[in-house]
Amino acid sequence: MTVRRPYPSDLSDARWALIEPTLTAWRQARTARALAFGRPPEHDLRDLLDAILYVDRTGIPWRYLPHDYPPWETVYAYFARWQKEGVFAQLNGLLRRLVRAAEGRDPEPTACIVDSQSVKTSTNVPASAQGP
């Protein structure tokens, strides 16, 4: 099998090392609760994520995915499953905690700021009772 040339949207080895345990655990959990028949997964998780990132970065339709990635139907199916099962939210939380820890901060945020320009008041509240 030939090694494909990387695209600019592909994950670096360092970034993949951060994400790989989460995706591998997801695949193992799905395999563990699957029935004992059928085909085992045949596509590399990194290739699937690189293909999703390619579509995200370039904005192309799924069907236009280059042929050196797994089939677009497979890539889209993984994207849809990961979206539905919260894998992207889990990865976002993981990366946020790592960035905060690298900056010497508590990995979990302790405060939330609500911008008063973003919060609309009820029309039933008199203007004299509203803030400045």
Per-residue pLDDT, 55: 97
Distance CA 79, CA 14 (A): 22
Instruction: Give the model confidence (pLDDT) of 46-103 as tens digits.
Output: 999 999 999 999 999 999 999 999 999 999 999 999 999 999 999 999 999 999 999 9
Q: Is residue 78 part of a domain?
A: yes
Q: Is residue 83 part of a domain?
A: yes
Average pLDDT over residues 21-43: 83
Q: Is residue 80 part of a domain?
A: yes
How many structural domains does the chain have?
1
Q: Which residue range is the domain that position 70 belongs to?
A: 59-109
The answer, yes or no, to whether residue 124 has pLDDT greater than 60, is yes
Q: Is residue 45 part of a domain?
A: no
Per-residue pLDDT, 120: 62
Q: Is residue 88 part of a domain?
A: yes
Q: Is residue 101 part of a domain?
A: yes
| Residues 55/62, Cβ–Cβ less than 8 Å | yes
Q: Is residue 14 part of a domain?
A: no
